[in-house]
Structure 1
């Protein structure tokens, strides 16, 4: 992930809520309501025979009914709400009601009816906002389900608190409903002005994606996307009597997260290219996220249309490492095609802006027809900014690559063998491992073996790459560890790198086994390289993720003062209406 975009996405993660089981919410509702009943009994001198039904009718029953019926009521209005969300909403509504209605009693004994009415209006407003964000941004479809909790509480407590309470409660509900509508109109203006979609609508699409795999979010990103042309270098190997091997380097980014957009691009391309195919990580940031799988298929189509005229080259150079500053490049040429694999390990190795990779590729055309630049993406411990153009770090990448290009062009090429192996690992996405597991390309030339070890994951914990390479050098002459940067391992946060959740010692045996299998599979090979120009690829667009995150964070900054103003307006209009109707 590009670090700046990572930080932007990370800043949005605090707005995402993980819902507990509805059983837990129900148990807490029972506990809190029981505590209120005990307080009432103690207030009456501890007579357990004098049990009041008011706490049941005002607190317990409304919360339980809201938990049970809100999902069904939402379905009537063509919405979907899980019982987990319903339980959390009912529990939070109960907490709001208890806090606002009971806290003032400690200071003002006669205040309960007033503050209980206010608490129910707050519950109603809270449920409107939450259901609008979680289920449907159209208030007309959530206002009735939102009224369920406070409506039942009002009806249950009216016989105890009288007609004036019922009137006050009704007026507060109307004022708060208008206030919520005004609040939503105000806070949605920045995003609608910039991106033609409101934050509640975007939240609906995101949660629908998480819960049911909806593609509404992809449709939105397509509507604001930009069309680009990007080069994609591929290297094809053929072997007598064995399956061929394909290595391809897209210069678009497999993000932003989960299954959204092109987040699972490595697996999708691997499936389209067929067995024994490896998808390396090129030079691209979140600006270059494909908006959906359709764009990933365009990459495959361009590669197939730009196949090399022949796969007849049977020589390659030995591997070489070249350094400039903190950047190290592993270079190996196959006829007229060269692979450059860049890393900064043990320093953070993050996404590079597309222009940096393009500059390197163009510079290499002096020596080779096809220049495949690969970001190994193999070292991180914390989210840091990526590599921007015209920075010292960008110049280090360009400098190391230019040294590697010139030096490799002087090397003699000899006949080579190529082997491939892959292994699906017994770990999950939540543990940092994507669906492709680990793949290994082994190149043997002039008595030296080189292993390109590719993990389907988003970066690698600091130190893991170096230790893993050290261990593998006992079996091969040279190797590099890479990740695909797949974002299926990330829900919101970019921090789920290989080696973070699962220690190296646990997955090293599988890696070693795969490397040895690739070496055993090696046989004389021929290669052919090609550079496909992938046109009309719809990506997120320049700074889109940054702009969305900045807008949302800025919007959060003025939500509180806007809410306070609207709240005062609601109380003032309620007081005026109440006075007009009662005096």
Structure 2
């Protein structure tokens, strides 16, 4: 990251935030200097992680189409249902993402920009409400009198439908666009709820945090310069999709089996103890 920051060139050039759609695939695109940021979501339909190879394809395709130096792909991870599956190579969703990237209008007018930020740990909420230690972070980007709110929760996905509820609840605020995202942290996972996405409980309280964060970020707006960059991290071992899925499945199986075995073992132990006490006493 430090090496990447040293290589970035900064200017005041940015485009407005623009949305594109193709069947279930939805993206929001904003150009910054020599790069672009693509926010990807399948909401209001459910979805889970975008597989790395799919994201790499999106990155390569968008860089080639728009002739930019960097393309930053953000999986918003904001519409979860129990039956949600990963977006894997060959899935129909992949071709929808390819189609929607082809719709991007690359020659967007550039203007100066302002950015304002705000963060709150949401200290009265915790992992039981699907909120991680970093809480909420909000960034407002203002370009050509358009204000876009980037709202990020430290959570593991979002209950399906809650994104739309947040968007509706913030329409009266002084913004023109909003996208809500989650970090995909697994620190909020619980045995009782598994993935435990944000929005299952205390929706009103969470929405109030969103409104406050947007208003405070607007107060922080100031003129800035911006740049983008990407770096490859070498010699980094990862779980990979197969091992992580196998681990989660194994844990879930152990928990499910334990619910059956534990009572049986307890009853068996009690019977043995009673027999030992009864016959031992004789």
TM-score range, shorter chain: 0.7 to 0.9
**Cα separation, 1, equivalents of 2:10 and 2:133:** 33
CA drift at 1:330: 0.5
What residue in structure 1 maps to residue 4 of structure 2?
306
What residue in structure 2 maps to residue 497 of structure 1?
197
CA contact (8 A) 2:119 2:138 kept: yes
Instruction: Show the 5 A alignment for 1:526-545.
Output: 526-541=225-240, 543-545=242-244
In structure 2, runs of 5+ residues without a counterpart are 262-282
Residues 415 and 550 from structure 1, CA distance in 2 versus in 1: closer, same or farther, beyond 3 angstroms? closer
What residue in structure 1 maps to residue 112 of structure 2?
415
SS of 1:481's equivalent in the other structure is strand
What residue in structure 2 maps to residue 513 of structure 1?
212
SS of 1:356's equivalent in the other structure is helix
CA contact (8 A) 2:10 2:33 kept: no
Alignment of 1:474 with 2:172, yes or no, is yes
Q: TM-score, normalised to structure 2's length?
A: 0.83
CA drift at 1:466: 0.4
Residues 411 and 429 from structure 1, CA distance in 2 versus in 1: closer, same or farther, beyond 3 angstroms? same
User: Would you say how many aligned residue pairs link Structure 1 and Structure 2?
Assistant: 250
Determine which structure has more spread, i.e. the larger CA radius of gyration.
1
What residue in structure 1 maps to residue 26 of structure 2?
328
SS of 1:329's equivalent in the other structure is strand
Instruction: Show the 5 A alignment for 1:350-369.
Output: 350-366=48-64, 367-369=67-69
SS of 2:163's equivalent in the other structure is helix
CA drift at 1:311: 4.2
**Cα separation, 1, equivalents of 2:3 and 2:167:** 36
SS of 2:231's equivalent in the other structure is strand
* CA root-mean-square deviation: 2.0
Deviations 1:78-124 (A, max 9, x none): xxxxxxxxxxxxxxxxxxxxxxxxxxxxxxxxxxxxxxxxxxxxxxx
In structure 1, runs of 5+ residues without a counterpart are 1-302, 561-583
Higher relative contact order (CA 8 A, sep 6+): 2
Residues 496 and 336 from structure 1, CA distance in 2 versus in 1: closer, same or farther, beyond 3 angstroms? same
More helix by share: 1
Alignment of 1:459 with 2:130, yes or no, is no
CA contact (8 A) 1:311 1:526 kept: no
Residues 521 and 375 from structure 1, CA distance in 2 versus in 1: closer, same or farther, beyond 3 angstroms? same
What residue in structure 2 maps to residue 345 of structure 1?
43
CA drift at 1:518: 0.6
CA drift at 1:365: 2.0
CA drift at 1:461: 1.2
Q: TM-score, normalised to structure 1's length?
A: 0.41
After TM superposition, where is structure 1 displaced by more than 6 Å over at least 4 residues in a row? 549-552
CA drift at 1:398: 2.2
